[in-house]
Amino acid sequence: MTKRFLSLLSLSALTLAACEGGGDSGPIKIGYLGPLTGDAAPYGVDTLNGVKLAVDEINAAGGIKGRMIELVAEDSRCTGADAASAAQKLVNVDKVVAIIGGQCSSETLAAAPIVEAAGVVMISPVSSSPDVTNAGDFVFRDYPSDALKTKAMAAFLREEGLTKLAMISENTDFAQAFRASLKKDFGEENIVFDEVVDPGTKDFRTLATRLKDVEFDIFFPNAQTDAVMAAMMQQLREQGLEQQAISHDVADSVTLGELAPEAVEGMYIVNVPTAGEGGDFEAKFNQKFGGAQATIAFAAHAYDAMGLLAKAIETVGANGTAIKDHLYSMTPYAGVVGKFSFDRNGDVVGLSYSLKTFKEGKIEKVKDIAVNSMP
């Protein structure tokens, strides 16, 4: 009896020791960074669900070479400060192999130096600030830079013969980078009204009042969240301003159409194609999570980031530098959002843009906009 007990004990001790060996067995920890609370939370919820879907599928199929993936999610609230402390925790406490995140560009930019120092690969599914391009060697994104998006927007505006743009921008990394890069691509002389407001502002009445005295062709609500954009559009229309409007990814939100259906009617949206919509991916996603809060495209980019990462780990092992080198040199990955690879800055190559519009509260695609790849 005692002998048996002892042998059992030693066996369990052995297993324990094997586990502690870390590195090559046991679960592979992957971190997630994103806004799970606050105005930007719909992006966080959608991308986290996209990652979860990928992880569940990979684990159900036996994991990566038999090792399960363990997801560690941290709420970084769309702010740099929260993202930095969350990244510290993921890297130093949880010792994750790689991170999917951040979602807001401010999160990605703040977490970048931390993952860079630790040699941990970070792939952002939705950060689009041009600043992310040079954020570091270990920082990747499978979402196109706004530097390209503003080019697409400027090209469309010129094509339509619209030369006077009025814009109100929220003071966040994403919106400010977009503003700067649109000014460059569309020409400062073509922007007739350019105001910046505090993040989260919801009273735009006085700015809308001032807009009544400005002659403009098209209005660009450059907000960080759909909650703020809804307030902007609603108050603009309440002042009787009927001009056409155009915006970016943030407008590509079902919630916006529900909050301000009349105000956003006919508004143009320049965004990456609604990847994953109507396909197998959306069906799986809706079945599991009951639909996207912002857009299925965010979930699709996150799903692909996780799928790509799993494939990289399977090929080169759970080593940060090896994964990084693999991502720079890999052949294009066929994901839900399309076939893509990375350029030398870790920016995505191979995805295009589309022009969409609100029609009776629903988002419809108008056409594709061709853009040249990064200079």
Partner 1 sequence: MTQLFVNALIAGSLAALIAGGLSLVYGTLGVFNMALGQMALLGGYATWWLHQELHLPLLISILGGLGFGALLSWFTFEVFVEPFWKRHRFLPLVTTIALSMMLDGIILLLFEERPRSILPGLKKTFDVMGARISLVQITLIVLTFLLLALFAYILHSTPFGRQIRAVVQHPHAAESLGIAAPKLNRIIFILSGSLAACGGIYQGIDQNLSPTLAFGITIKAYAAIIAGGKGHLWGAILCAYLIALLEQLAIGVPWFGGAYISAGYQQTVALAVIIIFLLLKPNGLFGASLRSA
Rounded CA separation 346/123 (Å): 9
Q: Locate tokens 């569309």: which residue?
A: 186
The span of 52-60, 259-267, 280-288, 329-337 binding partner 1 (CB under 8 A) equals 259-267
Instruction: Based on the shown chain and the rule CB under 8 A, indicate whether residue 243 belongs to the binding site for partner 1.
Output: no
Which residues sit opposite 333 in a β-bridge? Answer: 340
Rounded CA separation 160/154 (Å): 10
The span of 41-49, 99-107, 134-142, 349-357 binding partner 1 (CB under 8 A) equals 41-49
* H/E element, 299: helix 296-316
Tell me how far, at minimum, the Cβ of 262 lies from partner 1, in Å: 4
Choose which of 121, 207, 223, 369 interacts with partner 1 (CB under 8 A): 207
Do residues 125 and 298 touch, judged by C-beta distance below 8 A?
yes
Choose which of 200, 273, 317, 350 interacts with partner 1 (CB under 8 A): 200
- Tell me whether residue 65 or residue 202 sits nearer to partner 1 (CB atom): 202
Instruction: Based on the shown chain and the rule CB under 8 A, indicate whether residue 41 belongs to the binding site for partner 1.
Output: yes
Instruction: Based on the shown chain and the rule CB under 8 A, indicate whether residue 244 belongs to the binding site for partner 1.
Output: no
Which pairs with CB-CB distance under 8 Å and at least 24 residues apart come from 61-69? 63/28, 64/28, 64/310, 64/313, 64/314, 65/314, 67/25, 67/26, 67/27, 67/28, 68/27, 68/28, 69/27, 69/28, 69/29, 69/30, 69/310
Choose which of 134, 206, 287, 373 interacts with partner 1 (CB under 8 A): 206
- Tell me whether residue 124 or residue 176 sits nearer to partner 1 (CB atom): 176
Question: Cis before residue 21, ω within 30 degrees of 0?
Answer: no
Binding mask 217-236 for partner 1 (x = CB under 8 A): --------xxx--xx--x--
Rounded CA separation 45/33 (Å): 11
Tell me how far, at minimum, the Cβ of 77 lies from partner 1, in Å: 9
Instruction: Based on the shown chain and the rule CB under 8 A, indicate whether residue 357 belongs to the binding site for partner 1.
Output: no
- Tell me whether residue 263 or residue 371 sits nearer to partner 1 (CB atom): 263
Rounded CA separation 256/168 (Å): 17
Q: Smallest Cα–Cα separation from 58: which of 310, 327, 335?
A: 310
Instruction: Based on the shown chain and the rule CB under 8 A, indicate whether residue 292 belongs to the binding site for partner 1.
Output: no
- Tell me whether residue 42 or residue 144 sits nearer to partner 1 (CB atom): 42
Tell me how far, at minimum, the Cβ of 214 lies from partner 1, in Å: 11
Rounded CA separation 44/123 (Å): 14
Do residues 296 and 285 touch, judged by C-beta distance below 8 A?
yes
Instruction: Based on the shown chain and the rule CB under 8 A, indicate whether residue 237 belongs to the binding site for partner 1.
Output: yes
CB neighbourhood size of 288 (10 A): 11
Q: Are strands 121-124 and 165-170 parallel, antiparallel or unpaired?
A: unpaired
Size of the site for partner 1 (CB under 8 A): 41
Of 136-195, which residues contact partner 1 (CB under 8 A)?
168, 171, 195
The span of 37-45, 93-101, 303-311, 328-336 binding partner 1 (CB under 8 A) equals 37-45
Residues that bind partner 1 (CB under 8 A): 36-39, 41-42, 44-45, 168, 171, 195-198, 200-203, 205-207, 209-210, 225-227, 230-231, 234, 237-240, 255, 258-263, 293
